[in-house]
Structure 1
Amino acid sequence: MDVIRAHYAASDRGDLPGMLAPLGPKTTWTEAAGFPYAGTYTGPDEVREHVFEAIGRDWDGYRFTLGDLLDAGGTVIGVGTYTGTHRGTGRSFTARVAHLWRFEGGEVASFEQIVDSAPVVAALREQQ
């Protein structure tokens, strides 16, 4: 729980190295199908490039707000809300999300995002 709390605290501060600190070279990070950055990335460098740098390039004020942090044994679950405004369209969104952090041997083995992607994708589209 402390490792994941530290990740979310780093996120609140905008501290990318702190956010990536729990990830080892073999940690897999999966962004949900249908989400703009969908895919599975391995290690902190791929996550930085394909997730956090991409989000920073495409969105203003993109934020995860943690609502609940749940201890499920070898898995920690963060439940909250994403918000942001797309730089290209000027459209904002709010989407509910759950993060599943799985541990093996005391280390983060994997991260999986489960998200309502529809509001995020709608913010990418120009209004008609």
Structure 2
Amino acid sequence: MTNREIIQGLYDAFAQGDAPTVLGALHDDVEWNEAPGNPLADRNPYASPAAVGEGVFGRILSNYEGFQAAPHTLVADGDHVVALGTYSGTRTTSGATLDAPFAHAWTLRDGKVSAFQQYTDTAQWRDQMG
């Protein structure tokens, strides 16, 4: 399986709510960073699959209904994959709609994610979660 296919598989698993597959694809010593200015960046860098699961995915899923991270473009070069896409979801407390573009920079080692960097419209995240 190529690195591009691995990352596409992670987005597919996330869309299906398959957290064990997503977290299982992360190295034990992953370095995960949310975009500076994103309220979820308060614990950067997340340094384990458990930290990512609790600190990122857990908080997103408890704050948004129908949350999706939908890539429309994946570009791979060696151990690096960049995904371009859109976040969407509805804030559970306010009903506000999230519609934020993203770029994700993934680094893989031995078929697992060793690093992640998010780039997104942090103003939307801050306005809704901050």
TM-score under structure 1 length normalisation: 0.89
1:57-81 CA-to-partner distances (Å, cap 9, x unmatched) read 1111111111101112221011100
Tell me whether 1:15 sits opposite 2:18 in the alignment.
Answer: yes
> RMSD over aligned Cα, in angstroms?
1.5
1:40-95 CA-to-partner distances (Å, cap 9, x unmatched) read 10111000000011111111111111110111222101110001111122111200
Tell me whether 1:52 sits opposite 2:52 in the alignment.
Answer: no
| Secondary structure of residue in 1 paired with 2:29 | strand
**Gap runs ≥5 in structure 1:** none
Q: Please point out which of 112, 126, 130 is paired with 1:121.
A: 126
**Structure 2: distance between partners of 1:74 and 1:122:** 34
**Gap runs ≥5 in structure 2:** none
Q: CA deviation at 1:123?
A: 3.0
Q: Which residue of structure 1 lines up, in the alignment, with residue 105 of structure 2?
A: 100
Task: Identify, as 1 or 2, the structure richer in helix.
Answer: 2
Q: Which residue of structure 2 lines up, in the alignment, with residue 42 of structure 1?
A: 47
| Higher alpha-carbon deviation: 98-107 or 61-70 | 98-107
**Structure 2: distance between partners of 1:104 and 1:15:** 22
- Larger RCO: Structure 1 or Structure 2 (Cα < 8 Å, ≥ 6 residues apart)? 2
What percentage of aligned pairs have identical amino acids? 33
TM-score under structure 2 length normalisation: 0.88
